[in-house]
């Protein structure tokens, strides 16, 4: 699939991507979200996944946030919890607006969890990766949700 059309990107020719298609900012829920296109080979399944995501970013975002909330309590993979605890321990004073007057560590991490926001979506050859952050001006640490062609997801903490 060499040429296709997607929301925000318009008509895309993977062999002749414009600079605007490779990296663009869109307005989403009152803030800037970055869309980055790295994919060089597109099959029909990948195209449909990308189209579904871009057609309804609100639902995509809600589903990803639900996954992050669910994984917060995962006793086997503590990636989300460790990400939040890191920010709580290392940058506590920078998140006082979010944390407020919470007294317990559990309350504080819960408030940070609910403050996660979509920052970017990267379209790679074999995965689509939305990045979630607490505040991009304070920390460059992200929780990336890697979504493969079969819509299987895994979460990674990155910077």
pLDDT confidence tier of residue 139, bands split at 50, 70 and 90: confident
| Letter string b/e over residues 95-106, b meaning 16 or more CB atoms within 10 A of that residue's CB | beebbeeeeeee
Does residue 98 lie in a domain region? yes
User: Does residue 64 fall inside a structural domain?
Assistant: yes
Q: Is residue 6 part of a domain?
A: no
Q: Is 132 a domain residue? A: no
Query: Residue 41 sits in which domain range?
Result: 20-126+139-158
The answer to whether 85 touches 72, Cβ cutoff 8 Å, is: no
Q: Is 100 helix (H, G, I), strand (E, B) or coil?
A: coil
> With pLDDT > 70 as the criterion, what percentage of the chain qualifies?
97
Assess if residue 143 is contained within a domain. Answer: yes
pLDDT at 85: 93
Over residues 5-29, the pLDDT tens digits come to: 888 888 877 677 777 778 889 999 9
CB 31 within 8 A of CB 116: no
For the chain, the domain total comes to 1
Question: In this structure, is residue 85 part of a structural domain?
Answer: yes
In a domain, 2, yes or no: no
Query: Quick one: CA dihedral 77, 45, 37, 118, positive or negative?
Result: negative
pLDDT score of 1: 54
Higher-scoring residue by pLDDT: 34, 101: 34
Give the confidence band of 84 by pLDDT, cuts at 50, 70, 90: very high
What whole-number distance in Å separates Cα of residue 128 and Cα of residue 149? 8
**What is the model's pTM?**
0.88
In a domain, 84, yes or no: yes
């Amino acid at each position: 699939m060499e040429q296709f059309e997607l929301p925000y990107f318009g008509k895309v020719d993977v062999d002749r991507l414009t600079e605007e298609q490779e990296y663009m900012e869109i307005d989403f829920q009152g803030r800037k979200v970055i869309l980055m296109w790295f994919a060089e080979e597109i099959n029909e399944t990948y195209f449909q996944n990308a189209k579904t995501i871009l057609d309804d970013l609100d639902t995509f975002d809600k589903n990803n946030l639900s996954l992050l909330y669910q994984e917060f309590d995962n006793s086997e993979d503590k990636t989300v919890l460790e990400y939040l605890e890191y920010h709580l321990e290392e940058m506590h004073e920078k998140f006082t607006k979010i944390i407020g007057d919470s007294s317990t560590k559990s309350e504080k991490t819960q408030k940070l969890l609910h403050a996660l926001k979509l920052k970017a979506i990267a379209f790679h050859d074999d995965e689509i990766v939305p990045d979630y952050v607490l505040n991009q001006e304070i920390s460059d640490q992200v929780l990336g949700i890697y979504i493969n062609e079969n819509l299987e997801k895994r979460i990674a903490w990155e910077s």
